[in-house]
Structure 1
Amino acid sequence: MLYYLTEETKYATCGADILFTYINALKQMKVHKDGAMNSGWMFPTDHLYEARVIGAQLPIIYDFIYPYLASGGQVYDLASAKLTNFDFTTAQGVIGTYVWLALNKGLLDSNWPVLESSSLVHNILALDDKQQIKKFIPYYTHINTKNQASLKKVAEHFVNQGDIWPESFQYSRHVAGFTVYLMTLLDRYDPSLKLGATYPNIPGAFTSYYNLEYPNDESPFIGDGHRTYKIDYADLENSLLLAKLNNNKQQEQYFTSYLSSSIKNGLYDRGHLHSRSYGASPYFTPLQLLWSVNKIQSETDIDVTPERPRSLRLEFAGMNIQRNISKINPVKNSLMAFVAGGSYIHGHASGMDMELYGQGHVLGVDGGKGTYRTDIHENYYRLFAAHNTVISNGASASKNGWINLGINRVQSELMEPAAGDVGVSPNHSFSTSSFYDEYNLVAPAQHERTLALIKLDDTKGYYLDIFRAKSDFQNQYHDYVYHNIGDQLTITSNNQMVDLVADHDRYQASAKLAWITTGQRGYRHPGWHFFDDVKTKSHATEQFEATFTASKLGDKSISMRALIPAGLNIDISHVNAPKAYGGTAPYNSKPLPTFLLRHQGEAWDNPYVVAYESITEGENYAVQNVERILANGIFKGVKVGVKLNGKLLTQYILVQENSEDRYQSQKLGINFKGRFAVITLDDQQHPTEMYLGAGSYLHYNQHKLTAKPGSNSAYIAY
């Protein structure tokens, strides 16, 4: 590239010597054409790696120094220690072989074809025969092989505006970035292809990741993901160029304005080359010098950190995201949570997972990922026990799908506000999700989770988690699992420490299951044999308070308290789980405090109920107590006692299984038909708010709230 920029021969001789040495080495090695699915050449068992670190690089060197070689420039031969003529025939053979490997090796239904496509396209364009180039380009643009997906097939995952590639987020981002690069490369090579015009939703994916993030700009942890991601401005520069090449004025204006605003705000500096990646990735860095527009100017400044939507649905991950953003110190005081679970590449057998945000941090965390192919990664981090979920019959498991981690996708039953909507209430939102634990090793189980965000004012709020579980297994039991970062977990009842008894054997049965590493066909479900220091109190029906305290997140300690109301016979256990890679440092390197609730029998008519509230040291909890509301033994919701700014409030949060269900209480003055509602009363028992999240009507004494026409929600503040 320096030769191209300066036309100084010394750079050409350096590049030519490197190229010639590699080609001579490769021609002496066996091409493993008859080997396994991922067999290669210099890396006999890993074409996926070789395609990125060698296959994608050699044709770039060849293209840039071709004028020197074609004019008779010689190369240094290591064997003879002399200058010699370049062997074009052998070089073309190497290039053709890498085209063959990309088309005939690899895994079709994954991100592999995209990761291998840079090698495929680079080597096609380095062929000396123009007819051969014309022949092979369609194998990237629209012709699939049994081992290599075309751009057309990749684009099937980007049908709607805002779609992202269906894998955990870092793989998803790479797919979009590599694909936009290759679309830009080919549209520059042959403008008649118009790939950017055909598939505009692929660069459009870069606008979606921001909306998935927490108020502190961290990402939800799903599958083999990470907590934080840097914006790759090189991808945005390519997206801008692609828009220009295809006369996409809308995207051109957006990416120009975004980059311009990022520069003005000091977030992006075009005066320095992006960092070189030395991992398994093609070498894209010089494109800043070769492709990028000279100057980015926009008359329109845009907010590059706009307010994120209150709710979102990410279908492939079975994810419902809910937010309630505070106007006062939003990073600290906002609420955000998600419920998710699904089967996808690099996904986990998580069941119906949940994360909770508070005080500027993700506190209720997913376990994350470990080191691939290790025991703890495959038999803990990828399985149910590493997630905030419910395990049924001690045997929730996966089957089929990606590396036998297939589970049913979590379904969205109800959500208010609906994905992308504003919502009827500034203070309330909820989602109801369902999951069928079909591959349970004992008997299938049905799960349903209602998660509500209840905002009390601009600094206070809490989450209410209601989890139903049932199975046809005669001796069914269900374990509610919750992990939270912290230095310690204390479990109390009525302000007294609960007497927990050592219980080493409780979760150890899964350690005896077979771990079949060949083809990753068998795991030690549900993975909870990695729990340590297990202590339990059995057969309890009283209210419990489980308080997690983290003293190393800043100058003041941060606590998350879980209030577990009385009225369900449970065993409560305190364990230390393996460290959570998704936890805020230093808690990503410490054992993760965790509690479990076990109920023998179904937990459907009377489900698990937990109210979660976080505070910073020096603050007081607003939620004082939580009581179950039952009618003929059927759960109808909770009564929550709140103390806010010295004033006592009462909230009735009503939750029913079906939209036609009714709850009437003359004593309480409540008449409700529907699935979810909230009544907030002051200390005189006068309503201050009524929220109909999903239902037909909500009455409190003489106060009546009816769903709007064409809707099943409504809200009123008094």
Structure 2
Amino acid sequence: MRQFLLGLCLLCLLNNASGQENGREIPLPEKMPQEHPRVLTTPDEKQDTWELIKKEKWAKDVFNKLKERTEVYTKLTDAQPAWLLFRLAMYWKSHATEVYVKGENYDHAGGEKAPYPTVRYTGTRGTAATHGRPKLADVVPYDDDENGNVTFCNNALPERPLESVHPSKTGRNIESLNREILGIACDAAFLYWMTDEEKFAKLAAGVFDTYMTGIYYRNVPIDLNHGHQQTLVGLTSFEVIHEDALHIVVPLYDFLYNYLRTNYPEKMDIYAGAFKKWADNIIANGVPHNNWDLLQARYIMNVGLVLEDNKEYADGKGREYYIDYVLNRSSIRQWSLTRLADYGFDSTTGIWAECPGYSSVVINDYANFANQFDNNLKYDLVKAMPVLSKAVAATPQYLFPNRMICGFGDTHPSYLNTNFFIRMIQNAQANGKTEQENYFTALLKCLNPEIDNEKGEKNNVRVSVNSFFEDKPLSLSPKVKAGKIEDYVSPLFYAPNVSWLVQRNGMHPRHSLMISLNASEGNHMHANGISMELYGKGYVLGPDAGIGLTLYSGLDYAEYYSQFPSHNTVCVDGISSYPVMKSNHSFDLLSCFPASAEPGKEFTSVTYSNVYFREPESRADQTRMMSIVTTSPETGYYVDVFRSRKERGGDKMHDYFYHNLGQVMTLTAADGTDLNLQPTEELAFAGAHLYGYSYLYDKKVAATSKDVKATFIIDMKDKGGDDIVMNLWMKGEPDREVFTALSPMTEGLSRTPGMPYNIKEQPTLTFVARQHGEAWTRPFVAVYEPSTKKEPSAIQSVSYFDAEETVLKDFAGICVKSKNRRTDYIFSLSDATQTATYRGMKVKADYAIISNEYAGNRTLFLGNGTQLVAPRVTVHTDQAGNVLLEKKQGKWYILSSVPCTVVINGKKIKSGITSQLTLLPV
């Protein structure tokens, strides 16, 4: 362990500096080491690194490869000392001090001429480019013509010839070129530190001196549009969160510090000034309330660690100043770690206030900070901020049964990152926290079983300096066994700060069902109303569409992927929308079962949720009741009742969108008869609707009041031939049209390995039900069931019934008959204080299920209600609550959120609140 800290106390000299926040503070070291290196390692650890190389095969291999590839350039510089550095992208001739951009594109450079060449600015904020960077050997030396162009490769022509081109045509390739050269110099600096061979120092110092001097004399870009971009630009990139060159030059400088101080003493103030200019700009620009803040903080922290003490600089801004800025201070665009945590983490659930893809990034960044604090400050950040441990522990809640994360918002679903579990284990080991170590070790082994087979040996280690330090092998306790995934997720989980709710009936990859339901609260969210994702047979069959081909900067994102028509939701009058990215449109959770709880609770055979959403554009009220009904260990189905109406009436139409994976879709009447679907140009922007409608094509329509059935088929011929089917039954209504269509490909899953077909080349199968007029008294009532060719549908039929007695015009009744002789009568009411009856059954609740008895089994469920009357069974409560009553192999069990009275075959039993299924004395 590094001996970085001699003692901890509060640094009094900074107490009165501007930006100091009230409340808890993270203390700074009283004294800090004066020697270099100090960021990745310390001088005392050089011998430890040599021992690692001698002892570990992977370390020796990485070191030899680093040395081998770096010596290619030391040999080139023997013959031509400037061979590497003159390939840097610089303003070699103009020495431009000012850079001008127009929004997200480079425009030109100018200003007073600096005494040295300055660093060239990148081309665009996005990555799209007509011209790519040449191979390093083909880069034109001192490339800087009188027009400010660069000489790059034309990607559109055969053999990619070199051409003089305006930088705005090159995307971010200018940054990339400079980072490659700096990376070579960083490797050389590390090798010099390890070997004392001066050839490596000369190579590294030439590049570093040229680049950092060029940073020192270059100013922050000016946006000629005077727009938002001005608050985002960095010194080398259009976004301060992509000042990635800093991650290279900090260790480069750190390893090379003593050589530079001896050979470039007159430049040391310039280097420090360049670092501070860089950090000051990152503090001044950016976004404070999301993942940007942490990315910025990492840059600032690294600058702070590599600088000398405050007293060494005339402006008093050194190590303590920048480190304290990260820990305890906030400006308008850069918040402290504690303020950001208070803003973004839900203290109850641990969920971060962004979509899963970005939440994972933030949690990983916080976990990496914890590791850096342990190593560099000998301070336990996790102890100081307990929500960090809770947040890491909550990440499995994002998982579908196939262990991939939910896809809502700007997320590319993937397998869960396990690095933050490693960081929690390292933090526990560094601070003697056995319970924390055991918990996250079991979780890590659960989600990454292979890690337990590595036995300390690393395979496929990247050839990087960091591999010797931050990425060293993790030592796991052999006494801790892998946990069970069921212990880390909840049957129902609700995170209000992202308006997201999950229902599960288990975590079996093949047989379990899961609903992910979300609105639009937090960052990187879409305009999607009450949107759902549905899981079945190993895949998210009803997925979120994704972000788009060029992420959130593309037209397809703005018009389609971020809008209602790309989601499994209901769009009103063709106009439903609201601001995306940072959105503030959540749903209200009206009722649910089971209660949102900590992980490890018993899975129930019934789950449900009832949520309300106000769609702001059309001023529409929407509710969605969704349920999972489990009919056997391998079978079950989803229930979806979606009600939608405009507050002031005048409803034109309500469009129910559902998108499913697959290559083949059928749509017929529920009895199998042909609907005579006809080609149509409806579902379009024409008519003053959203642009997103125009992204649908190959559209066919039928006007019908019949009940309908749709099937979505995934052809699994390349995966064993067991085709996967999603079956959808929907109740018919007057004034309804049903459509089949194709939508843009499901971009969110286009990068996912192991998919059954090429997602990127297959349009998404789409079903749309259009209800003319309101859809409240004529709600969308649907049942979904996943099946396969080898595990065919377990449902025999789906039909619908109207209540015989009720004041509610929006009542929905569903009868689901299963092939195992089970029949479920499902009641959905918009008002739990009202009563609905049918064939002697009576319900006063939001939601209820009454099944028959079959093979000694029976299920009755009362959701947010007070009364359920069924053949031979009644349930009564004095206050609204949830009661699950099940007969299993002849024995009755109950799970109740409120005290209740149950009468079974004339026998009255009083039951209190139960936290799990409890045997009833019948």
- Specify the TM-score bucket, using the shorter chain as the normaliser: 0.7 to 0.9
1:469 paired with 2:644, answer yes
In the other structure, the counterpart of 2:209 is 20
Alignment of 1:191-590 (within 5 A): 191=378, 194-233=380-419, 235-258=420-443, 265-266=450-451, 269=454, 270-272=456-458, 285-288=467-470, 295-303=475-483, 305-307=485-487, 308-325=489-506, 330-370=508-548, 371-372=550-551, 373-399=553-579, 402=581, 406=583, 408-420=585-597, 426-438=604-616, 440=617, 443-471=618-646, 472-493=648-669, 494-509=671-686, 525=690, 527-538=692-703, 540-552=704-716, 554-555=719-720, 556-583=722-749, 584=755, 585-590=757-762
Structure 1 range deviating more: 597-606 or 635-644: 635-644
How big is the shift at 1:57?
2.5
In the other structure, the counterpart of 2:26 is none
2: distance between equivalents of 1:229 and 1:89? 46
2: distance between equivalents of 1:710 and 1:506? 42
How big is the shift at 1:671?
1.8
SS, match of residue 485 in structure 2: coil
The correspondence for 2:231, drawn from 37, 41, 44, is 37
The correspondence for 2:793, drawn from 621, 637, 643, is 621
In the other structure, the counterpart of 1:178 is 365
Decide whether the 8 Å contact of 1:274 with 1:285 is kept in 2: no
Which protein has the larger Cα radius of gyration, Structure 1 or Structure 2? 2
* Aligned residue type for 1:417: P
Write the deviation string for residues 622-664 of structure 1: whole angstroms up to 9, x where unpaired: 221221323467243324242324xx33211111112211123
- Relative to 1, partners in 2 of residues 1:478 and 1:271: Cα closer, same or farther, differing over 3 Å? same
How big is the shift at 1:683?
7.5
SS, match of residue 343 in structure 1: strand
In the other structure, the counterpart of 2:138 is none
In the other structure, the counterpart of 2:24 is none
Write the deviation string for residues 216-242 of structure 1: whole angstroms up to 9, x where unpaired: 111111111011135343x33333333
1: distance between equivalents of 2:448 and 2:736? 56
In the other structure, the counterpart of 1:189 is 376
Write the deviation string for residues 457-501 of structure 1: whole angstroms up to 9, x where unpaired: 122211111000010241432111111111121111121221112
Decide whether the 8 Å contact of 1:384 with 1:526 is kept in 2: no
Decide whether the 8 Å contact of 2:607 with 2:629 is kept in 1: yes
Decide whether the 8 Å contact of 2:283 with 2:296 is kept in 1: no
* Aligned residue type for 2:731: P
1: distance between equivalents of 2:231 and 2:460? 34
- Relative to 1, partners in 2 of residues 1:168 and 1:9: Cα closer, same or farther, differing over 3 Å? farther
Structure 1 range deviating more: 261-270 or 204-213: 261-270
2: distance between equivalents of 1:463 and 1:261? 28
In the other structure, the counterpart of 2:253 is 62
* Aligned residue type for 1:661: Q
1: distance between equivalents of 2:463 and 2:826? 52
Alignment of 1:101-116 (within 5 A): 101-116=281-296
Decide whether the 8 Å contact of 1:536 with 1:573 is kept in 2: yes
Decide whether the 8 Å contact of 1:581 with 1:589 is kept in 2: no
SS, match of residue 331 in structure 1: coil
How big is the shift at 1:690?
1.5
SS, match of residue 521 in structure 2: coil
- Relative to 1, partners in 2 of residues 1:121 and 1:641: Cα closer, same or farther, differing over 3 Å? closer
* Aligned residue type for 2:662: G
- Relative to 1, partners in 2 of residues 1:258 and 1:464: Cα closer, same or farther, differing over 3 Å? closer
Write the deviation string for residues 237-271 of structure 1: whole angstroms up to 9, x where unpaired: 33333334445443234345555777875467452
The correspondence for 1:90, drawn from 247, 255, 270, is 270
- Relative to 1, partners in 2 of residues 1:388 and 1:252: Cα closer, same or farther, differing over 3 Å? same
* Aligned residue type for 2:850: I
* Aligned residue type for 2:867: Y
1: distance between equivalents of 2:446 and 2:661? 36
How big is the shift at 1:669?
1.4
Alignment of 1:67-146 (within 5 A): 67-70=258-261, 72=262, 74=263, 87-131=267-311, 132-146=318-332
* Aligned residue type for 2:479: E
In the other structure, the counterpart of 2:917 is none
Write the deviation string for residues 584-636 of structure 1: whole angstroms up to 9, x where unpaired: 44234311111111112222123110111121114432221221323467243
Q: TM-score w.r.t. structure 1 length?
A: 0.86
How big is the shift at 1:88?
0.8
How big is the shift at 1:38?
1.6
Decide whether the 8 Å contact of 1:566 with 1:628 is kept in 2: no
How big is the shift at 1:207?
2.2
Decide whether the 8 Å contact of 2:360 with 2:417 is kept in 1: no
Decide whether the 8 Å contact of 2:491 with 2:603 is kept in 1: no
* Aligned residue type for 1:470: R
2: distance between equivalents of 1:611 and 1:260? 37
Q: Number of matched residues?
A: 669
Decide whether the 8 Å contact of 1:113 with 1:148 is kept in 2: yes
- Relative to 1, partners in 2 of residues 1:709 and 1:536: Cα closer, same or farther, differing over 3 Å? closer
How big is the shift at 1:65?
2.1
Decide whether the 8 Å contact of 2:380 with 2:431 is kept in 1: yes
What are structure 2's unaligned runs of at least 5 residues? 1-189, 312-317, 750-754, 891-922
- Relative to 1, partners in 2 of residues 1:123 and 1:3: Cα closer, same or farther, differing over 3 Å? same
- Relative to 1, partners in 2 of residues 1:695 and 1:249: Cα closer, same or farther, differing over 3 Å? same
Q: TM-score w.r.t. structure 2 length?
A: 0.68
* Aligned residue type for 1:669: G
How big is the shift at 1:187?
4.3
Question: Looking at both structures, which has the greater relative contact order when contacts are Cα pairs under 8 Å and sequence separation is at least 6?
Answer: 1
- Relative to 1, partners in 2 of residues 1:608 and 1:314: Cα closer, same or farther, differing over 3 Å? same
* Aligned residue type for 1:544: V
1: distance between equivalents of 2:451 and 2:369? 29
Decide whether the 8 Å contact of 1:243 with 1:252 is kept in 2: yes
Decide whether the 8 Å contact of 1:20 with 1:86 is kept in 2: no
2: distance between equivalents of 1:181 and 1:275? 19
Equivalent pairs: percent with the same residue? 23
2: distance between equivalents of 1:200 and 1:38? 31
CA RMSD of aligned residues (A): 2.9
Structure 1 range deviating more: 20-29 or 373-382: 20-29
The correspondence for 2:351, drawn from 164, 172, 196, is 164
Decide whether the 8 Å contact of 1:331 with 1:360 is kept in 2: yes
2: distance between equivalents of 1:402 and 1:618? 42
2: distance between equivalents of 1:100 and 1:146? 13
SS, match of residue 457 in structure 1: coil
Write the deviation string for residues 539-593 of structure 1: whole angstroms up to 9, x where unpaired: x211111111110373221111111123444111111111112344423431111
How big is the shift at 1:357?
0.9
SS, match of residue 226 in structure 1: coil
What are structure 1's unaligned runs of at least 5 residues? 75-83, 514-524
